[in-house]
Structure formats: structure tokens, C-alpha cells
Amino acid sequence: MYTLIVNGTVVTAEKSFKADVLIKDEIIVDVAEKLSVDSARVYDAHGLFVMPAGIDPHVHLDLPMAGTISSDDHYSGGKAAAFGGTTTVIDFVSQHEAGLAESIRLHRQNADPKTCIDYSSHMNITHFNEKVAREITTLPKHGITSIKVFTAYNDRLRINDGDVFKAMRIAGANKLLTMVHAENGDVIDILVSEALQSNHAEPIWHALTRPGWGAVEASLRAFALGAQAQAPVYLVHMNMAGEVDQLAYARSKELHAMGETCPQYLFFTEKELQRPDGAKWICSPPMRSEEDNARLWQGIEDGTIQVLATDHCPFFYNGQKPIEYEGEMVAIPGKELGKSDFSKIPNGLPGLGDRMPIFWTQAVATGRITPERFVALTSTNAAKIFGLYPKKGCLEPGSDADIVIWDPKKSVNYGVNVAKHRTDYNLYEGWKLKGYPRVVMQRGEALVEEGNWRGKPGQGRFIHRQSGEAL
């Protein structure tokens, strides 16, 4: 079965040019001008951009937290992703006592029947011993080439710095990437306890008890540990100006240091937590200041930051009030669980489907970055860093036909009724967008076509990744 996209402007991370794209079954077979083939399904992309579909390397689907579970699973999250132009995500395997292989098996047992887009996974390392050390070396045979460690969440997710160093050293020797959640868990625990003892329970205290300096200090510590372990380090969800400074410093020393930020850290500040509905904006790490927003933008524009991800981890704002999702009423306990105690509010936001349309409007339509840089930040760089390239993240013969036909002039009044997340609010309610997907293909099949959903559970695949490259 042939599919032909004609008359469009192809946009890659390197250049834009007029060309047609020819697809056979799931694979791109040619990108050139004036292509033709008998019996092809044809999409006319006149006046539109033809780009690699998005890759979000940082999502949490079906994640248990704070007495509930994130409201998007691998089907609803994948659907939301596709409507926003993303067809591949990388989520996280929670580490179980039974071992890493069993943790991966259980994770895939849950995700594979549900996923409607392609996905892969990172391996969380939340406890460490000699058995775990041996198992880390076996991750590539499971298609997983990245681990994640935490410097926060004491007694839950964090391992000590010595074990972080050991894990990094094993990862580096086996061509695995170490991702780091950088905050200071010791300081956080002290400040949360003091705040609650003083009856400070409002959402703003979530930010006040997670000082930004802790993230700055921990990010430098992460890069320093990586340097000593001779291992590449990827800093997740950067929210502080100082983190950008530390990443720039590490890269200036020719360390294999990389980082991502997320849309919420570009557009919002901790002032949102002072709103009556401030719980909607609670995530970890928190939003910060306008000065931090500006430095993150600078890092995106000058190339210090490699990836725009989301840390998608949605919860209902009011899980006691059902919403309709695909003809059924759904209610999942959410942020109301912490209505009298900020420390009990589930940490996380919807964002997977918002990422590309919001960022295009604010970054490309305003002239802050080029369409090529947009493709790099939302697709190609993640594909290279996480070992998906050139299968994903580019429009080359032999690549998967994961393609978004993008209308740079399409206007959308955005919000919860447009986004397809399975939750009851959207951070960008009422935003006027300019630029939106018209057709979103995964391996040559249209998942979304002019606002119509074509996907189904189980349609997606688990992608075995290779070792990535340091950008």
C-alpha cells in the first residue's frame, strides 16, 4: 500500500524544502520533488508543512501516586499525544523488588494492550545493590538504554550519591544514558515538615518548600558525578535559570551533559499556585519566576537545552465529579485529595497533547525559533539522544512514516474541550493558537485526520532502542 504526500514543504531539523513524500506500508521510501506512483492514497499538503511527528521522552502513564493513579493510561495518553502531533513517547518502568526484568515484564503487560502509539521506556533505579548493579547491564536486551535516578523523594525514590555514582559508572560502561531528577530531598523534607507544623497547607507552600537553589545545587552535583563516572547525564524537567547555567558550564567543559525543559516552565510561575485553583499547577519541580522563564527560553534559543518534553502526569482537579470520555463517565481521585494539605496533592500536570501546538504558537509563530529548530526540539534531538534515530525523528528513506502534516495558519481556541487528555482541566484554557496538525500518521497510517480519531488500543508498539548519542 502506497501513500503519497504531495505539494508540501518538508521541514527537518536541518532544512526546509519543497518535496513530496512517498510511503510504502509503514516506511518512507522516497523524499523528492514530483513523485508519482500508481494506486496511492494521496494527501495534498499545499501550503502546509510536512514534519517528523513528535517524540516526547518524558511521560508518566498509569502511574500510581499519592493514593491514586495518573488519569491517562497508555491509550488515552497516546490519543492525546496524537491529536497534538506526537506519535512516540518514552515512559518509566517502576522498579520492583522482583528485579528489573520482572519490572519490565509487568510494565509491558499493562501497556502493550492499551497503547495506540509507539512507546519505549526508561528504567527507574530507586533502590540499589549488587543484584541491581548486575541487572543494569542487561537492560539493552530489553530494548531499554536509559536509567533514571533521583536526588529527592527520600525513602521512596532516592538512592544515595554513592549509589548514584555506581549506577552511572555501570551505565556509562554499557552505553546507557543516566537521567537525573535534581532537587535536594533533605532540604525539602525539613521544610515540608516545618510548614505543616506551622499550619501552612496552601498550594503555594509546595513551591516554597522546594527551594530552587536545591535544584541548582543538585544539577551541578549530577553533572559532577557523571564526570567522575565517565557517563553521559541528561537533566530532566529543568525549571531554574541556574540549571541552564550549570548545563552550559558542564557542556563548556566538554562533558556529555544534556537537558530538557517543559512548556509549563516557559509560561507559568509559582504565582499560579496562589490562585483559588492553584492545585491545578502543582508539579515537581514547581514553576518558578519570570526570570527563570526567560533564562529557559534563552537556553532553548541558543541550543543549551536540547529537548522540549512534558513530564506529562495528569490528575483530575476534582476527581469526585465524573467527566465523559469516549462515551463513558469517568472519575479518578485527583488533586482534591490534598485540599487541606499541599503535601497530599498529587504532583503532576497534563501536557502531552499541548506541547507541540502551544510551543509552535509561542515560539515559531512569534519568530523566536525557526521551524527547523522546532523539529529538533520536539522530535529529532530526542530520537538521537534516546537511540530511536533514524527509525524515528526524521523523514528519510527507511525511516518509519511517523509524520505530521502541519497547518501553520490554522487557528484554534484551545482548552480542555480541544485537548484529548483524560482529565477535567487544561493549563492553556482559552489560549488562541496559530498552527495545528491536520493529519498525524504513525508508520504510514493516519491516527488523526482533520480532527477525526482513527486509532485504537494495541495499535502502537514497544520500540527497542539502541544506545543514543550525546548532542
Nearest Cα to Cα of residue 65 among 317, 335, 322, 263: 335
Q: Please tell me the predicted confidence (pLDDT) of residue 436.
A: 98
217-244: pLDDT as tens digits: 999 999 999 999 999 999 999 999 999 9
- How far apart are alpha carbons 354 and 268 in whole angstroms? 14
The C-alpha angle with vertex 386 and arms to 2 and 299, in degrees rounded to 5, equals: 110
Residue 459 lies in a domain: no
Residue 341 lies in a domain: yes
Q: Please tell me the predicted confidence (pLDDT) of residue 411.
A: 98
Residue 381 lies in a domain: no
Q: Indicate which CATH number applies to the domain containing 109.
A: 3.20.20.140
The answer on 73 and 29 residing in a single domain is no
The set of cell numbers assigned to 149 is: 535516578
As for how many domains the chain has, the answer is 2
Q: Which domain does 43 fall in, by range? A: 2-52+393-453
- How far apart are alpha carbons 224 and 230 in whole angstroms? 10
DSSP string, 321-377: S-EEETTEEE----GGGGTT-GGGS---B--TTTHHHHHIIIIITTTSS-HHHHHII
The answer on 216 and 147 residing in a single domain is yes
Residue 468 lies in a domain: no
263-317: pLDDT as tens digits: 999 999 999 999 999 999 999 999 999 999 999 999 999 999 999 999 999 999 9
- The predicted model gives 174-202 an average pLDDT of 98
- How far apart are alpha carbons 181 and 147 in whole angstroms? 11
Torsion sign across C-alpha atoms 394, 396, 397, 402 = positive
- How far apart are alpha carbons 172 and 167 in whole angstroms? 9
The answer on 217 and 97 residing in a single domain is yes
Q: Indicate which CATH number applies to the domain containing 15.
A: 2.30.40.10
Q: Please tell me the predicted confidence (pLDDT) of residue 72.
A: 98
Return all residues near 141 (Cβ < 8 A) that are at least 6 apart. none
Q: Please tell me the predicted confidence (pLDDT) of residue 329.
A: 97
Nearest Cα to Cα of residue 401 among 16, 31, 36: 31
Residue 273 lies in a domain: yes
The 3-state DSSP class for residue 391 equals coil
The answer on 310 and 289 residing in a single domain is yes
The answer on 323 and 185 residing in a single domain is yes
- How far apart are alpha carbons 237 and 264 in whole angstroms? 10
**Predicted structure pTM score:** 0.98
